[in-house]
Structure 1
Amino acid sequence: MKAAHPEVVAAIRVNPGETLRKGRESKNWSLPDVASRLNLTVTSLSNVETGNFDKLPGNTFARGYIRAYAKLLGLDQTALVQQFDHYTGTDSQGSNVHSLGRIEEPVRLSHNILRIVSLLLLVVLVGAGFFWWQDQASMRGKDPVSTNLEHVEVESADGTTQIHPLDEPEDQAVVQAQGSTSSLPLPAGNQTAEVAPTVPPVVAPASTVPAAPVHVVPVTPTTTVAPTPATTTPVTAPSTPAVPVAGAGLVNLNFSADCWTQVTDGNGKVLLSGVKRKGENLDVSGKPPLTLRLGFARGVQVTYNGQAVDLAPYSSGETARLKLGQ
């Protein structure tokens, strides 16, 4: 048997999409109207009508489109599918695609959805990092904080070493001095005399038997007076005025109230540091300029090389800072 001529085979091939297009136009339906009814895109439906089946997802989907289109128009579905097979040179045997009222196209994930999901993930990561940073900061805040105060060690005459902070020590000394002053015992006043109770006379009970007369001796009440403590007045030996050494400055400090005091010479050596009590009179000599810090400036009178020093220009509140011998 001879094979058919190529021109004859080409003439037999009929595009089923052309038949579908004519059926649609006979009903005066537009392409978008049919596409919405079949749940297809206008582009896919246009490819069916023009015979561009290679632009569709595959022959199986193309047969499904043709069946659904033919059913909507009331045409023979089987004949149009056979035309499709002859037109494309494929075999429809084994195909599980049947006539469908609505055809769902392959779902493709939109790029916009990918961008939104990526943005949400980025926001979650940034938020998690921020909360982690706050948690670490709060944990660091709970650690003991080391103080930045500088201290100075002062060795006194009795061999003991005193440590004083250099950051506003006078304010702390004022509080300490005021606390020690408030805790002093009050002077004892006049005490009330204690009077012993009067002892009543003792009378012998009466008896039927006559007895010798009993003489009652009255008891004289006694008064006990507590002794008044004697007050002693401290006797201060007259002090000899100190004479400044050549090339050195002499500071005299006369305390009328408790006051924290620090004296530093020109080399930075601490000559005096501590709380001085009311009534003390000190002379400090050293290389000028002498730096003087007072925690309670109103409670001390200062002279430098025999001349009185006015502390008012150097006072700030209850404290004073000044340099002598500049």
Structure 2
Amino acid sequence: MSIGNSPEDERPFEDDREEARLSIGRVLQQARIAAGLTVDDLTNATRVRLPIVHAIEADDFGPCGGDVYARGHIRTLAKAVGIDPAPLLAQYDADHGGRPAPTPAAPLFEAERIRPERRGPNWTAAMVAAIVAVVGFVGFTAFKGGDGGDKTQVAEGSTPSTSKTASPTPTKPDEPKPDPTDSAIAAAPQDKVTVQVSAADGRSWISAKDHNGRLLFDGLLKQGESKTFQDSEKINLVLGDAGAIQLYVNGKKIDEDWQQGAVERLTYTKGDPQVG
């Protein structure tokens, strides 16, 4: 009989604990960094205030003001960095006692039916109607008499000349409107810089400023949409997903081999397309 540990005691301990999952704030932060966006960029794109973005990435949902607002911020930030918000919302509901119950609808009140009151005959209205009928008959008779005199005069006089019917003016068919082409961009003034941004291959967040730093546009450009910006000196651009963008500057297409998901910061001036 041997003394010591049995073979079962010598087996390594099994760790049945599941691998710790990433928190909501950590997932959003990693996705933002992968998209090449700063917290300022995310705030400008979503209109979610800067302190709230910092708090959510630190898994502090208190500044959101409640579960409904917290879920809305999570959904907005997830879409802005290009990830599916559904798993994050499910994780939030599981960590905070489930999805908030919808507000019950206000009860409907049935309108009280009002029984019509029985009324006697309205003699005043009948009298007014009779007077109107008499006046109308007298007026019609006078009109017919005057009309007969006119007919006699016409019969005794010369034959009235028939007026020629005016021929309708020929209308020109609607000319088809020309389809918008790149020539419209080429007609931009030479003393200004004109930049057209089109989301041809997907959606992308973009930001555009003039030479004074004034914000011309800051938001998400969906696939198929386009924006045109113009300034007297230069246009500063930030493309959140440059691979999805088709760019025209002063009427000329910019052929750059931008990768999908790449963030590009560009400046264009008057004259030929040139990156500042």
Q: Same fold (TM over 0.5)?
A: no
Q: Which one has a bigger Cα radius of gyration?
A: 1
For Structure 1 versus Structure 2, the TM-score category normalised by the shorter chain is 0.3 to 0.5
Q: Which structure exhibits the higher relative contact order, with contacts defined as CA atoms closer than 8 Å and separated by 6 or more residues?
A: 2
